[in-house]
Amino acid sequence: MKNLKNTLCIAFLSIATVFGAAAQEKRASPAEVAQGKINGAAVTINYSSPSVKNRAIWGELVPFGKIWRAGANEATTIEASEDLIIEGQKLPAGKYSFFVIPEKTEATIIFNKVAKQSGTSKYNEAEDVFRVKVKPQPRKEKAESLVYTISANKIVLSWDNWDIPMKVK
């Protein structure tokens, strides 16, 4: 009887693992990774990529004046192997959560010391490394899915009709 219980427990855990993995794969906003090098520093951004799906994004789905996790599901994270200078502010090497407060004509970019966060529910401004303001740029073509790009001197969040660029050294 004991062996049967153990076998059933193992079978249940195996099934739960398979279904859990399948559920993770079928998220409406899949997990994505952007990687690149900036002045020799390896930069990695982990995020979940929502799609527009005929919705109004800026000012509606993502309200103006409210903190947003810069993706979907868990908070977006950025990790750098060396110090970076982002919009004139020093981001020490390490891993951080990354948030945006969009407005009609500008966006506040926030780097927070607590890397692992579930959205914004436990966000604490006291843990911010710094905040910078940037100007969103209109896109020529809509970006249906949110995407981050890393180039030699900037990081860009692109979604819907906006690019949100950050100068990086």
Enumerate the domain spans of the chain: 31-167
Q: Cα–Cα–Cα angle for 78, 85, 29, nearest 5°?
A: 20
Q: Give the DSSP letter string of 2-39.
A: HHHHHHHHHHHHHHHHHHHHHHHHT-SS-EEEEEEEET
Average pLDDT of the chain, as a whole number: 89
pLDDT tens digit string along 15-43?
A: 444 445 444 557 789 999 999 999 999 99
pLDDT tens digit string along 115-151?
A: 999 889 889 999 999 999 999 999 999 999 999 999 9
Closest by Cα among 58, 62, 37 to 151:
37
Output the pTM of the full model.
0.84
pLDDT tens digit string along 40-76?
A: 999 999 999 999 999 999 999 999 999 999 999 999 9
Tell me the pairing of strands 94-102 and 76-80.
Answer: antiparallel
